Structure 1
Amino acid sequence: MIGVSEEQKNLSLTDQAAQKIYFGENLINAIEEFKNIEGSQKLCRKINQELKFLKKVLKNNQLKKEHLQCSNLTHFAALINVLKTVENCKSVNKVFLLNDKKVTVDIVSDGGLTWTKVIARNPKSVSQICMGNASYGVRSIIDQAEEFSECAKFQPCLFQTPKIIFIFTNGVSHNIASKLETYGITVKGTRLEDLNEIDEDDVDFSDTDDEAQEYNTDNLSGITELSTNNVSSISKVNLDVSAMLAYCSSVTNGSAAIYDFEVPVLKQQAAWERLRPQKHILEDFFKDKKLYCCQTAKDNFENIVKTVGGPNENVRAKELLERLVVLPDDADYRSTSENDQFNEVFNKVQYTNDSLKVGGKIRQRSLTIFTFGDRIRAVTVSANEGFVRAARQQGVNFVVFIHESRALTEQKEKTKAIPIAK
C-alpha cells in the first residue's frame, strides 16, 4: 500500500482550512440580516476572531488538525440557523450575572420571555463530558442547565421567569434529555438511544461555552506545588476518580512505550507518560497506606470504565476496587479502621458545609469527594488541580497529593493509535 505523503496531508489540511474560512465569511454575511439585534455585532466580532486566527496559522504554515477541530464556527452557524426561526428576538450572546459568574444565553427572544441555548456538539461528545470523561474545568450540559435554571429565577421578564430551551442540532441522548427536563428545560433535537460507546471521530473539540477552560498542552508548572507538604505520616488515602483512571489506564500500564495517538489530548498525555510514568508515582505513594474512596467516586469511576474502558482497563479497575474500602459519602474518621491520631496538618483545613460555592471549577462531585477525604482524615489523591486551585482562592485548603492526568486509552489504541517504531 502506498502511504500518504506529508505534502498530501498538508494539502488536505490546507483545503479544509480554506473551506472553513469560506464558511466563516458566509456567516458574516448572514449576520447582516440581524444587524439591528443587540449582540449581533459581538457575534460578528467573535466570528472574525476565529477567521483571523485560521488565516494567521495558515499563512505562517503553522496549521494543525486541532486548530480546525477547536473552531467555534460550527456553533456560530447553528446559532444563526436557529436565530432565523425565532420570533421577536431581543438579543444574542446576552450575558447575565449569577453570583458574580457570567451566564451567556445564545438567544433571548419573545421579548425576553424565552432563553435559548444552542448545542452543536456531537451527541456522543456531550454524553462523554456528562460522564466525567473530560478535562477538569469543562462543564457538562447538566452543569450549564443548573446555572441557566438558577439564573433565570433572578432575571424575571414581565413578572415571569423566562422559559429555557436547549436545542441540540445534532441530537441528544434520551438520558441527558430526561435529566435536563427535570430542571424545567424544554429540550429540542432528535432523541437518540443511550450512547455507550464513544469514538474519537465523534468527539467535537470545539467549545461553545465562553467560560470553559481551554486545554493547555504546554503548561505543567505548578502541579506538584499544589500537593500538601508533610503528609508522609498519614496512613489513609482517598482516591478521586481521576486517580483511579490514571492508575488503570492503558497508557500508564505500558502502552505509552508502544503507541502514539492522533488525538491531541491523548498524544500529549502519552508524551508526558514517557517522561514521567504516573503508575510508579502513585504506587510509591500508596505504599504502606490504606486506600479509601466514597460511594460517589466509585459509582462515577465504574460508569466511566464501563463506557470508554477497554478489556484490560476493566480488569485493572476491578482489581483496584477490590483493594479499596468504599464508604458512604458522609462517613468520617470514626468509620475507618486505623487508630487515628489527629494530624496537625488537618488543623489547616478550613472546610465547613457552606464554605465553598458550587460553580465553575467547584463541581459538586469533586466537592463531595474532597470533603469525604478530609472527614476521614485521609490524603486525597487527584489530578483535579483546577478544583484545588479554585478552593484555595476561596480560602479552603484540602490535604492533597496531585498527579498528572491520564485518560483511558485502550479503545482508542485499536483505531486512533500510531505504533512507535522500535
Structure 2
Amino acid sequence: MEEVEVAKRRCKSVIDQIERLPSSTNITRSSKQTLFKLALSEFNFLSRSSIAHPLSVNIGHLEAVLFVLQHPFISGVSRVCKPIKNGFKSVHVDVVCTFQKNPVWILVSDRNPKYVSWNECRKSKGLKSRVEEVLAAARSCETLRPRKVILFFSHGVGESVRGRLEDEFGALEISLSEFDSCDEVEDGWVNVPSRSFREACVLEISLDFSGNNASSLECVVKDVTFAAEGSNVRGENASVNFGGSFGSIVSQMKLYSMGEPDHLQSDGNLVNFDTTALIALVSGISNGCAEKLLATSEIELRQRFKGNVQFVISQAMSELQNPIHEELRGVFAGKRGIICESVLSEFTELVLMCGGPNEKLRANQLLTCFIVVNDNPSERLMGLPTTRKLALKNKVVFGTGDHWHAPTLTANMAFVRAVSQTGMSLSTIEHRPRALTGD
C-alpha cells in the first residue's frame, strides 16, 4: 500500500538523519544506538505483510525527537528515549541534554492537540499527571538533575492546556528557531528535514533548587607571578601588551576590571577553563615553536621529553595543520573567562616546573584576563561516585563550571565521556591538547 511505503521512506530518512547528527550534539554512542533500534523496529513493523493498519504511530515521534536534536543550542546529549528511575517508579524522558548551557530534560509530544488531554481520561492518564511525575523525579534526582524541563509539542498545543501549564507549573513559551528547509552539515552533506515543524509549541518549566544560585558565589582575585624576565603580574588589564596569535585571541575576551563588584553575575557569557585549556594557550607549540620542534634531533627530543616524544611530535604536526589559536578564536569572542582555585594552583605548579621563560611570561599575561572563583562544584556533579575515571579533582573543576552555568573548555575528554556514560548532560567545549615545551 502507498501509505505503508511513505511511512517506510520516513523511517529510512530518520535512520539517515541519525547517522548524520551534527557533532555539536556530543551525543553518546548508546543514545544513537537507542534511536537506531527504535527506527529499525518501526521499519520492520511496517515491512510485515500482515499489517492491517498501515500508518505508523511512532515514526512521527522519532522525527520530532531528531528535529530537537539538530537544534544548534542542543549539546551534551547523554540519554534519548529512555526512562529515568525515581525510587520504585520510572518516568520517560525523550532527551537528556544541555540546552543553552543548562542541563535539561525534554519531553516530546507528536500528538494532535485535540487529543492532548489535561486530566485523566479513558485513553490517557493526562498531561497534568505526567508533568507532575517528571517534575517530582527531576527534583529528587541527584546526578541527572536538570535545571529545566522543556515540553516540545510538534503539532502545537491547545490554548486551554497551554494556559493550565502556565498557571499551575509556571511554564513559559520559548522559541526553537525554525531550521531552513535545507541545511549543510559536516562533510558537505545536505540535511533535508522530512517534515515541517512550523506549528510546534515549546514551553519550559524552571526548577528552583536551593543553594544553586551562581550569582551568590564570591569571586577571589589572586596575584600570581612566575620567575621569568620581564614578567607582568596581575594588574590593570589595559596595561597588558599581548602579541602574536596569543595576543589576538586573548584580546577578544571580555576582561576583568578591578573596579567590578565582588560578586560575578552569570550573564550567559562565561567560559570555565580547566588546566589543559590554559596550558594549550601558553604552550610553545601553540605559539610558533612547532617547526623548530620537528627540526630538532630525536636524541635531543628524548632528553627533553623522555617518553612523551611522540605525543609532543604529534601535537606539533597537528599545530602546523590546524593552529589551535585559530580553532579557539570563536570560543573567546566576547566571553568572560573563569578558573577555579584548583585550576589556578595546578596551572601555577606546572608552569613553574615545566614552563620556559616565554611560556611563563604568557602564563602571567593570561592570568590577568581571568576571574578566579572559589572551588564550588554543583551538587549533581559531586553526587557522582568518585572513581578512577571520575576523579575528585575533575569533579571539582567541571562541577564549578556547572555551578556557574558555564561550559568548560577542556582536552580531558576521558572525564567528559565518563560523565556522559552516567547519563548526565554536561556543557563542555573540546580542544586539542598541547604540552609545555620549555620555550
TM-score (norm 2): 0.35
The two structures have a TM-score, normalised by structure 1, of 0.37
- Highest Rg: 1 or 2? 2
